[in-house]
Structure 1
Amino acid sequence: MYIEQGRKGKLGMWKYLPVPIGFLGLIVFNLMFSQGVDIDALMAEQIETLGKPLFFLISVGPFVIFLAGLLFWVKVVHQQSITSLTTSREKIDWKRVFFMFSLITLYILITTGILYYLFPEDFQLNFEPEAFITLAIMAIIIVPMQTSFEEYLFRGHMMQGLGLATKTRWIPLIVTSVIFGMMHFGNPEVAKIGPHIMVYYIGTGLFLGIITLMDEGLELALGFHAANNLVTALLVTSSWTAFQTDSILLYTGEPETGIEILIPVFVVFPIYIIILWKKYKWSGWKDKLFGKVKPEF
């Protein structure tokens, strides 16, 4: 089973601490630094100075280093294979990654198209071929690395480590989901929409944790996260979102602040789970989500 894959290396619970503590320390430092700062004004100033391509590269580029550092730590210090960090299967199932990527891409395209049709006044066509091609090249390379780092850290390294330490499945599921959500507390969307958007971020972490445990691997979570961030960066952004890119569309309306922002957590994510449950014939829900981690024999 997936959490037990963490034993495929030189164990020592201290090996699970430095990378999460280091990354979360950076997040806390960033939050402390941004207290009392007008994030929108700061981002606008940086974009004016650097331009959107360079601003995007500086914002997302460090995650390439973070991913390389995490995989190096797992491979060299923990001496665990990247495959066992990714999945309980004999090899990484790329079909699962691309299925989830395609499913989320289709959903984003359809919902954005519907919103554009119903509320055209809230969108501005922003397509400039040269700028978009530059964005696409950078985003296609960097964004999957950014999202993969977050998945390998939270649903991989931390989930396996917490599971082995507590001998439970539900504790790492809850803890990694909450920390994943709180990591986004410094996003400009939180200041613009309100703290109740944290339900969405934590709910997203919970959804990704559930499909990881039920499917015994990270493949579906990797596909979801990559599609969600990459397609959004290319298709539609706004002046108040974390991604500031030369996307095809700019959303110029005010952000939703009501119950509608919670629809993904309580409606869309459950539908995804049902689709995946049927497609991959998941079973043993109670054991996989709430059962004990199997002892080492």
Structure 2
Amino acid sequence: MKFLQLARKGENNWWRYFVTIILTNPGISIGAIIGSIYIYLLFSLIGLYPAMGFLGGLADILSYNIVSAFLIFILYICMVAIHHRNFKTVLTAHEKIQWHRILKGFIVWFLILLMLLFLSFSESNLKFTFDPVAYPFLVIVSLTIFFQAGFEEIFFRGYLLQAFGMKKPILAVILTALIFAAGHWGNQATFTGNIDIFIDTFIFGMVVAIITIFEDGVETAIGIHTANNMFCALIVNDGTSAFYETLPSIFTDFSTPLTPLEQLIYSSLIMGALLLIIILPQRLNLIKNILKRN
């Protein structure tokens, strides 16, 4: 809970949050618009826009990730100049950033996704789309996903979670997850697909928020989010997405969307397992330490 209370170290007038959100939110914000225009002009100049096929997909990912890095910088300025807080306070309550937790979150979630792919391989409508020429470029571009996932976690599970959670942590978890999920609406080409992604990202948002509160920092959440997006780019691309152009991922999934109930059950089970894997060992260590003291 220490992490949520770090917001009290700065200035928390409503207008400070309003200005910061207008400048930095990952949807339609002044920072995102400025960054997007700059990237569009730059990519047009070097010939990446307009681009079709996998080049278009790579340009989409790269542009969004670069804009996210720019938004991290803008949020840094907002925290210092508007909220009068150390930027580290939206990252962690620990003395230093827990880099090992980023790696832990990445490895755990990536391995879970690989296991799920293996278990569902025979039932999934997967198409082998690996392109040996294009794939190295995808790997290089995917390294910048860290900025996109990192910014979203800092903004949602850091900045907004603290804003809502100083007095009501449970409400903060739900609200930030709802806003996070709403931001993913439109990523799919069908209504059912958008319902599914809303459910999935809502549960994802709640779980990583709980982990953030439990661990007093967004580090593990950043690792999980980075692993999720890199897996979707490098291993299994969503063939029904309305957001990105085709990517030269190893596989592309053209499966029919689940029913909302099926998606709710599936996401709850998988994300619940992730929550247990992350938190349970720490709880056991805490119990062991208490027993040793006694």
- Answer whether TM exceeds 0.5 for this pair: yes
Corresponding residue for residue 33 of structure 1: none
Corresponding residue for residue 112 of structure 2: 107
Shift of residue 226, structure 1, vs aligned partner: 0.8
Which SS does the other structure have where 1:151 is aligned? helix
Structure 1 distance, partners of 2:213, 2:285, is: 11
Does the CA-based 8 Å contact 2:53-2:247 persist in structure 1? no
Shift of residue 148, structure 1, vs aligned partner: 1.1
Moved more, 48-57 or 269-278: 48-57
Corresponding residue for residue 17 of structure 1: 18
Question: Cα–Cα, structure 1 residues 5 and 282, in superposed 2: closer, same or farther, change >3 Å?
Answer: farther
Unmatched segments (≥5 aa) in structure 2: 34-49, 287-294
Corresponding residue for residue 119 of structure 1: 123
The code of the aligned residue for 2:110 comes to T
Shift of residue 64, structure 1, vs aligned partner: 2.3
Corresponding residue for residue 281 of structure 2: 279
Structure 2 distance, partners of 1:208, 1:49, is: 31
Shift of residue 186, structure 1, vs aligned partner: 2.0
Alignment partner of 1:246 out of 245, 248, 255: 248
Structure 1 distance, partners of 2:81, 2:189, is: 37
Any idea what the Cα deviations from partners look like across 1:150-208, whole Å, max 9, x if unmatched? 111111111112234xx222222221111111111121266352525422221111111
Does the CA-based 8 Å contact 2:79-2:86 persist in structure 1? yes
Corresponding residue for residue 101 of structure 2: 96
Corresponding residue for residue 8 of structure 1: 9
Does the CA-based 8 Å contact 1:144-1:226 persist in structure 2? yes
Moved more, 177-186 or 269-278: 269-278
Alignment of 1:187-202 (within 5 A): 187-188=187-188, 191=191, 193-195=193-195, 197-202=197-202
Structure 2 distance, partners of 1:152, 1:282, is: 28
Structure 1 distance, partners of 2:192, 2:234, is: 22
Structure 1 distance, partners of 2:129, 2:184, is: 27
Does the CA-based 8 Å contact 1:20-1:153 persist in structure 2? no
Root mean square deviation of aligned Cα: 2.9
Corresponding residue for residue 82 of structure 2: 77
Corresponding residue for residue 180 of structure 1: 180
Moved more, 4-13 or 125-134: 4-13
The code of the aligned residue for 2:148 comes to Q
Shift of residue 90, structure 1, vs aligned partner: 0.9
Shift of residue 81, structure 1, vs aligned partner: 2.1
Which SS does the other structure have where 1:124 is aligned? strand
The code of the aligned residue for 1:80 comes to R
Alignment partner of 2:267 out of 243, 265, 268: 265
Shift of residue 11, structure 1, vs aligned partner: 4.6
Percent of aligned positions that are identical: 25
Question: Cα–Cα, structure 1 residues 262 and 168, in superposed 2: closer, same or farther, change >3 Å?
Answer: closer
Does residue 221 of the first structure (1) align with residue 221 of the second (2)? yes
Does residue 137 of the first structure (1) align with residue 126 of the second (2)? no
Structure 2 distance, partners of 1:282, 1:212, is: 18
Structure 2 distance, partners of 1:106, 1:5, is: 33
TM-score (norm 1): 0.78
Shift of residue 221, structure 1, vs aligned partner: 1.0
Question: Cα–Cα, structure 1 residues 222 and 59, in superposed 2: closer, same or farther, change >3 Å?
Answer: closer
Unmatched segments (≥5 aa) in structure 1: 31-44, 285-297
Question: Cα–Cα, structure 1 residues 4 and 26, in superposed 2: closer, same or farther, change >3 Å?
Answer: same
Moved over 6 A (4+): none
Structure 2 distance, partners of 1:105, 1:129, is: 22
Structure 1 distance, partners of 2:7, 2:155, is: 13
Shift of residue 247, structure 1, vs aligned partner: 0.9
Shift of residue 276, structure 1, vs aligned partner: 2.3
* Greater fraction helix: 1
The code of the aligned residue for 2:236 comes to V
The code of the aligned residue for 1:113 comes to F
Structure 2 distance, partners of 1:7, 1:230, is: 35
